[in-house]
Amino acid sequence: MSGTVLALSGGVGGAKLALGLSRVLAPGTLTVVANTGDDFRHLGLAVSPDVDTLVYTLAGLADPQRGWGRRDESWHFMDALESLGGETWFRIGDADLAMHVERTHRLAAGHTLGQVTHAVVSRLGIAARIVPMSDDAVATRLRTDDGWLDFQDYFVRRRCAPAVRAVAYAGADIARPAEALREGLAGASLRAVIVCPSNPLLSVEPMLALPGVRDALAACPAPVVAVSPVIAGQAVKGPTVKLMRDLGLPASAAGVARRYAGLIDALLVDAADAEAVAEVGIEPVIARILMDDLEQREALARTVLATAAQLATLPVAERLATRTAAGRHGARP
Ligand code: GDP
């Protein structure tokens, strides 16, 4: 089956599947759109955590244990910064620092975030395209019992401890979506859209908040297949379940299905979650969705693509009608 594949991804969970996809698809056919709602300025540097997790993972440079940053990292910069009394709550390894310095430098010279990312991706020999969701600033912010917090303040400095009452994507309403989203979702050569197993609220919905993107995904003629980041009521890593619970949402794969109802055609889930997902009106596809090693990433990528190929055999009008009906039935709480 030919055509292009568009994957929507956050950091750690998304990058695992993106790596699998990049290894099973023909070079040049995969575009991964990265969340930039986590981006921030730190120590004067432009930091794009999800873009970097994708770049490091697809380049084979990621640290497998830590889940962020580069492997074989050294920490002289952090140690020296601490000795000077600098801020050390956000850890930046020595090699990782080069990425932030280079990005900041190129942005200051007038390049867009998309151009900077493209240059780095080419330079590191990555076969997929990695595209920041927008070149304009979008900042995920959380209203907590301690007041409004910037994303990294909540996520890293406070380790997701404060209870979250609302999530906002500042700037998303006026940010211009990347062309890969704007035109890519309607593209004639598009074979599938994959919503990676990322945090729905912190990684995927910032993209959906960009002007026109939610509607473009709902109307996308290609099959849209998502993978649940929640497995039998548990997040593999990170605050997905806690956040959903804090917000009064069902903290389960069915809760994820509700967030995506009207936008996707199928959700890959653990067997334990299939029935509850079907009740939302979304087709559950049972698969091993935990990706412990490279083999499992590739296997899940193949299953996702096979699911999309199966869906593609249905007439587009029928698929869109089912998607829309699920949107009405599963309506986001
Ligand atoms: P972040 O931006 O670094 O937090 O990364 P993402 O939003 O892309 O990923 C976070 C989500 O990935 C969490 O909800 C995890 O449960 C999920 N996740 C991590 N590893 C896996 C895995 O192997 N399989 C699945 N299905 N989800 C995973």
CA of 50 to the centre of ligand 1 (A): 12
Atom of ligand 1 nearest to the CA of 14: 8
Token pair of 280, please? Answer: 């939302």
| Pocket flag, ligand 1, residue 69 (CB < 6 Å) | no
What is the spatial distance between Cα 37 and Cα 206, in angstroms, rounded to a whole number?
A: 6
CATH number at residue 314: 3.40.50.10680
Give the dihedral sign, CA 154/230/180/266. negative
Q: What is the pLDDT of residues 199-250, one digit of tens each?
A: 999 999 999 999 999 999 999 999 999 999 999 999 998 899 999 999 999 9
| Pocket flag, ligand 1, residue 13 (CB < 6 Å) | yes
Q: What is the pLDDT of residue 65?
A: 85
CA of 83 to the centre of ligand 1 (A): 34
* Domain count for the chain: 1
Atom of ligand 1 nearest to the CA of 240: 14
Q: Which residue, 102, 127, 120, 133, is CA-closest to 33?
A: 133
Mean pLDDT of 324-330: 89
Confidence of residue 273 (pLDDT cuts 50, 70, 90): very high
Share of the chain above pLDDT 90, in %: 95
* Domain encompassing residue 48: 5-329
Q: What is the DSSP letter of 38?
A: T
List all residues 6 or more positions away from 239 whose beta carbon is below 8 Å from its beta carbon: 155, 160, 199, 202
Residue nearest to atom 19 of ligand 1 (CA): 13
Q: What is the pLDDT of residue 332?
A: 53
Pocket test for ligand 1, best of 66, 152, 155, 198 (most atoms within 8 A of CB): 198
Number of residues that this document lists for the chain: 333
Atom of ligand 1 nearest to the CA of 202: 7
pTM of the model: 0.97
Q: Which residue, 127, 296, 276, 278, is CA-closest to 197?
A: 296
| Pocket flag, ligand 1, residue 237 (CB < 6 Å) | yes
Check pLDDT > 70 for residue 1: no
| Pocket flag, ligand 1, residue 290 (CB < 6 Å) | yes
What is the spatial distance between Cα 189 and Cα 290, in angstroms, rounded to a whole number?
A: 30
CA of 235 to the centre of ligand 1 (A): 7
Confidence of residue 260 (pLDDT cuts 50, 70, 90): very high
Check pLDDT > 80 for residue 2: no
Which DSSP string corresponds to 121-179?
A: HHHTT-SSEEEESBSS--EEEEEETTEEEEHHIIIIISTT-SPEEEEEEETTTTPPBPH
Q: Which residue, 322, 230, 252, 235, is CA-closest to 281?
A: 322
List all residues 6 or more positions away from 254 whose beta carbon is below 8 Å from its beta carbon: 273, 276, 277, 279, 280
Q: Which residue, 25, 14, 26, is CA-closest to 51?
A: 14
Average pLDDT, the chain: 96
Q: What is the pLDDT of residue 331?
A: 65
| Pocket flag, ligand 1, residue 198 (CB < 6 Å) | yes
What is the spatial distance between Cα 296 and Cα 252, in angstroms, rounded to a whole number?
A: 22
Confidence of residue 165 (pLDDT cuts 50, 70, 90): very high
What is the spatial distance between Cα 290 and Cα 273, in angstroms, rounded to a whole number?
A: 13
CA of 301 to the centre of ligand 1 (A): 15
Residue with token string 């698809």: 25
How many Å is the maximal CA-CA distance in the chain?
Answer: 64
What is the spatial distance between Cα 22 and Cα 182, in angstroms, rounded to a whole number?
A: 22
